[in-house]
Structure 1
Amino acid sequence: MAQKTLPAPRPTIEDGGHRLFGWLRRMRDEHPVHEDEYGVFHVYRHADVLGVASDPEVFSSELHRLRPGSEALTEEILSVIDPPVHRTLRQLVSKAFTPRTVAELEPRIVELAGQLLDGIEGDSFDLVADFAYPLPVIVIAELLGVPAEDRALFRSWSDRMLSMQVDDPADMQFGDGAGEDYEKLVKEPMKAMHEYLLGHVEDRRRNPGDDLISKLVAAEVDGTTLTDRQIIEFGGLLLMAGHVSTSMMLGNTVLCLEENPQVAARVRADRTLVPAVIEEVMRLRPPITVMARVTTRETEIAGVTVPAGRMVVPSLLSANHDERFFPEPERFDPARDARRQIAFGHGIHYCLGAPLARLEGRIALEALLDRFADVRVTEGARLRYHRDGLLGVRNLPLTVRRA
């Protein structure tokens, strides 16, 4: 039976995550599978996290299993369904959201990055507000074919939903016990976003164009097409997860280079190192730190028995810091082989947006290095971090010297 007493309270990430990294190391060593006070099983070692992610038959993504009768809430959302429905839906989405579609965005992303940096005056700015947030939002909005000028709407929706806090992780998907806060912070913005996207989907069915929504409307596999709800859910996932995770990735990149000036100097002198820097940032500070699964039957993880119908929360962050796979895991080292990092997930739910995130990260870092001869976090700046489950800053004041 898993032990139910933590060796110490879980630290916050207000110090950038350094105390949390040490806590996770102790959990990997002493409590690699831990059942918390809510009956949720947390998984910390790389091999065990991969095992959970690789077995959808035992570890289901259909979180509605925790709340019988709630299937309608999630049954058409790509990230929380299992095969065979998941396979069909992913094939349909992949017909529209192709590697070629992503690759063709590069010139536009370069142009947008330059325009955003052109708009920065003086020797100080906030990386998140002025660059890391608007860049992916505009890219995704233009990709979908919705007005980039509506990014204030997108930000208001995401800010409200990301501020939601619940005590029991099992309530995160359903709002039980969250009451009025859940209504205002999750249901209202989610409904507004769905209504907004539905208008665009209905318009593309009448007036198809060359944008991603039009391609999703037209996608067909063996006579099956996407429903309005499925298109809306995928569009919403791109707008929300896409811009938030990429924004945090860019902030984490600057923080990693700030803490490692020798690496910053090397990458400034040799831009071929940029992709490796981005990959190591995703290993060391993955924006999304956990995933969630539900057991379909009694099973065992690392010698711990997990009953059927329990939530299992593998830690992507802990897996990426597992010294069994990554020597000296807290050291930022772009020269290491980080290909086994799993910031983008693993298995059938591997992130479809990973190529776009990597492309945006590379272009954004190159643009910052080209534009500024020196980039520093402003001395004395107070950084605000996202809630638990995410690893990234909400703001990042910088002081720069132009090239």
Structure 2
Amino acid sequence: MASLTTPAPRPTVEDGGHALFSWLRTMRDEHPVHEDEYGVFHVFRHADVLAVSSDPAVFSSELHRLRPGSEALTEEILSVVDPPLHRKLRRLVSQAFTPRTVAGLEPRVTEVAGRLLDAVEGDTFDLVSDFAYPLPVIVIAELLGVPAEDRTLFRTWSDRMLSMQIEDPADLQFGDEAGEEYETLVKEPLKAMHAYLLGHVEDRRRRPGDDLISRLVAAEVEGERLTDRQIAEFGGLLLMAGHVSTSMLLGNTVLCLEENPGLWDALRADRSRIPAVVEEVMRLRPPITVMARVTTRDTEVAGVPVPAGRMVVPSIVSANHDERVFDDPEAFRPDRGPKNQQTAFGHGIHYCLGAPLARLEGRIALEALLDRFTGVRITPGAHLRHHRDGLFGVRNLPLTVRRG
């Protein structure tokens, strides 16, 4: 039975997440479905997170229900629409963005990763700025067919959007200061990115090429095609979510290996273990820590009544640490194998289309580090800056490496 006591405030991840993991264990045990002071319902257990993410009819991804008239959230973005539009968009996008397309990127990802690390001079560099950020941005930009040289512009957009802090989620519905911040930090860069990508979509309609935007323009299922706006929105989703999550994945991988130093040698001896390491990193430190849904009617989660029109926030990181599913969940154990039912890439109809690309980039990045360095460690005394709540990763990661 859930506790009637008020839970302690949520810790930050400044200590690498360990205080957060302990707090989440308490929430799973005592407050598995918790309504906070803003009327938002937080869901912590693995089974309940899956249940919410599996029922789009009751738990909608259309967040504009909380903020009617919000232009940025009512655009036809795959991640924030429900069936039947979601089904249509996913079928069309999947025709162009296929597993074969992702697999075909391996030589180029390997080349880019090698070139970035070969440019490192001396025995110190920052993993994020010198490697983990540019690698996915270059790959995704080339995949889409937009200039990788524009990555400074992409980072400007993402940094602005990721810097928004929302203390009261209700402010997204009713305005006030958070509403003004939302206009500046979210809507303006989204509009700029949309206009940028729309220009490339219009160009491909005139001059098709061998890139993803051209394939999205040509995609057709049962006589239906994607609109320019829908293509631009998917391109923006892939560009922003793809580079942010992969950048944090690579940083989190090194953090996990730092805490388990014997694994560097184990991977050097047997690289077939790398995919399992990447999967366990995604379980232990998922880059995106929560989902967001809105109830379409009165319902309940694990016996707790939830009224219509409320935000429901399933915790991915808590689900990934649920001891009801994972033995010794706070331990980094790449040998979990098929039992690793991690939810970092989502679940249900919104399972991440970019998951194969993230896994590919994670594997190749780790192989590239092993190829070039005989030793990798976080520079002693380095001050790490973490992303805001809702994201699990570092903004910088100074490394000291050994060669030969």
Question: Normalising by structure 2, what TM-score?
Answer: 0.96
The aligned amino acid for 2:392 is L
Question: Residue 358 of structure 1: SS of its match in structure 2?
Answer: helix
> Who is 2:310 aligned against?
310
Distance 1:71 1:158, change over 3 A: closer
Q: Secondary structure at the match of 1:385?
A: coil
Q: Is the 8 A contact 1:28 1:44 kept in 2?
A: yes
How do residues 133-172 of structure 1 correspond to structure 2 at under 5 angstroms? 133-171=133-171
Per-residue deviation, 1:125: 0.1
Change (3 A) 1:224 1:171: farther
Corresponding residue SS for 1:23: helix
Question: Is 1:266–2:253 an aligned residue pair?
Answer: no
Q: Write the letter of the residue equivalent to 2:371.
A: D
How far has the Cα of 1:71 moved from its partner? 7.0
Task: Give distance in 2, aligned partners of 1:276 and 1:15.
Answer: 25
Q: Please, which moves more after superposition, 264-273 or 307-316? A: 264-273
3-state SS of 2:273 partner: helix
Please report how far the alpha carbon of residue 336 of structure 1 lies from its aligned counterpart in structure 2 after TM superposition. 1.0
2:46 aligns with: 46
Following superposition, the deviation at residue 96 of structure 1 comes to: 0.6
Task: Give runs of aligned pairs for residues 87-98 of structure 1, distance below 5 A.
Answer: 87-98=87-98
Per the alignment, residue 102 of structure 1 pairs with 102
CA distance in 2, matches of 1:173, 1:235: 27
Q: Deviations over 1:252-275 (max 9, x none)?
A: 000000001122221121101000
1:63–1:173 CA contact under 8 A, matched in 2: no
The equivalent of 1:354 in structure 2 is 355
What is the alpha-carbon distance in structure 1 between the residues aligned to residue 91 and residue 42 of structure 2? 31
Which amino acid in 2 is paired with 1:62? E
Corresponding residue number in structure 2 for 1:345: 346
> Does the Cα contact within 8 Å between 1:62 and 1:293 map onto a contact in 2?
yes
CA shift, 1:190, in A, is 1.4
Partner Cα separation in structure 1 for residue 302 and residue 294 of structure 2: 17
Q: CA deviation at 1:188?
A: 2.0
Match in the other structure for 1:388: 389
Q: Deviations over 1:155-179 (max 9, x none)?
A: 1110111001111234458965324
The question of whether the paired residues in 2 share the 8 Å contact of 1:2 and 1:35 is answered with: no
Deviation at 1:73, TM superposition (A): 3.7
* Secondary structure of residue in 2 paired with 1:169: coil
Answer yes or no: is the 8 Å Cα contact 1:2–1:304 preserved in 2. no
**Structure 2: which 5+ runs fail to align?**
none
Distance 2:54 2:135 in 1: 33
In the alignment, the residues of structure 1 paired with residue 259 and residue 355 of structure 2 have an alpha-carbon distance, to the nearest angstrom, of 25
Aligned residues: 403
Equivalent-residue separation in structure 1 for 2:280 and 2:399 (angstroms): 22
* CA distance in structure 2 between the aligned counterparts of 1:173 and 1:221, rounded to whole angstroms: 36
Unaligned runs of at least 5 residues, structure 1: none
Q: Retained in 1: the 8 A contact 2:276–2:334?
A: yes
**Distance between the aligned counterparts of 2:187 and 2:52, measured in 1?**
30
Letter in 2 for 1:371: R
Q: Are the aligned partners of 2:171 and 2:179 in contact in 1 as well (CA < 8 Å)?
A: no
Q: SS where residue 374 of structure 2 aligns?
A: strand
Alignment map for 1:56-205 (pairs within 5 Å): 56-70=56-70, 73-171=73-171, 177-205=177-205
- 2:374 maps to 373
**In structure 2, distance between residues paired with 1:82 and 1:197:** 23
Query: How far has the Cα of 1:5 moved from its partner?
Result: 5.9
2-structure distance, mates of 1:75, 1:188: 14
Change (3 A) 1:347 1:170: farther
Give identity over the alignment, percent: 81
Change (3 A) 1:174 1:138: farther
Give the structure 1 partner of residue 218 of structure 2: 218
Q: What is the CA-CA distance between 1:124 and the residue it aligns to?
A: 0.2
1:335 counterpart residue number: 335
User: 285-294 vs 259-268, which deviates more?
Assistant: 259-268
